[in-house]
Amino acid sequence: MANCGASSLKELRQPAERLCFQLALLLLLPSAAFSCALPPSVILTLPTGYYILGGALTVLLTAVMGASLSKLPEMRAVTLAERAIWVPVTVASYISFLAFIALLLIGFFGARDPMHNLLTLVFWTVIWVAVPLASMIFGNLWRSINPWTAPVRLTRTAFGRTNSIGLHRFGHWPAVIGFAGFSWFQMVSLSPDDPFVLAVVLSIYWALILVLGVLEGEEFLAQGEFLTVFMTYLAKVSPFWLELNGTRASLRLGWPGTQVLSLPALTISAMAFVTIALASLTFDGLKDTFWWQGLIGENPLEPTGRSAVVVENTTGLFVVWVLTCFSIYLVHLMGSWLAGGNLKAGPVMLSFLAIAAGYHAAHYLITLLTTGQYTLAALNDPLFRGDSVLGLPALYVSFGFLSDQRLMTLIYAAQFFTILGAHVLAVFLSLRLVGRNLPIAAHLPMTVLMVAYTVLGLWLLSTARSG
- For the segment 408-465, what is each residue's pLDDT rounded down to a tens digit? 888 888 988 999 999 999 988 888 888 656 777 777 888 888 889 889 988 888 887 7
Q: Which residues have C-beta within 8 Å of that of residue 118, sequence separation ≥ 6?
A: 103, 106, 110, 378, 379, 382
pLDDT at 203: 98
pLDDT tens digits, 202-250: 999 999 999 999 999 999 999 999 999 999 999 999 999 999 888 889 9
* Three-state SS at 10: coil
Percentage of the chain modeled with pLDDT above 90? 52
Q: How far apart are CA 97 and CA 100, in angstroms?
A: 5
Q: Are 26 and 387 in contact (CB under 8 A)?
A: no
CA atoms within 13 A on the CB side of 161: 18
Tell me what the pLDDT averaged over the chain comes to.
85
Residue 385, classified by CB atoms within 10 Å of its CB into exposed (0-12), middle (13-18) or buried (19+), is exposed
Distance CA 418, CA 426 (A): 12
Count, residues in the chain: 467
DSSP symbol at 160: T
The three-point CA angle 446-449-451 to 5° equals 110
pLDDT score, position 47: 62
Selected residue with higher pLDDT from 46 and 196: 196
Q: Which pLDDT score, from 0 to 100, does residue 101 have?
A: 97
Let me know the angle formed at the C-alpha of 70 by 67 and 73, rounded to the nearest 5 degrees. 85
Name 384's Cβ contacts closer than 8 Å, sequence gap at least 6: 111, 116, 378
Q: Quick count: other Cβ atoms within 10 Å of Cβ 106?
A: 21
pLDDT in tens, 244-285: 888 889 999 999 999 999 999 999 999 999 999 999 999 999
Cβ distance 348 to 265 under 8 Å?
A: no
| Cα gap 380→118, rounded to integer Å | 11
Residue type, 414: A
> Considering Cα of 299, then 289, then 113, then 8, what sign does the dihedral take?
negative
141-155, 180-194, 334-348, range with the lowest pLDDT: 334-348
Note the pLDDT of residue 24: 34
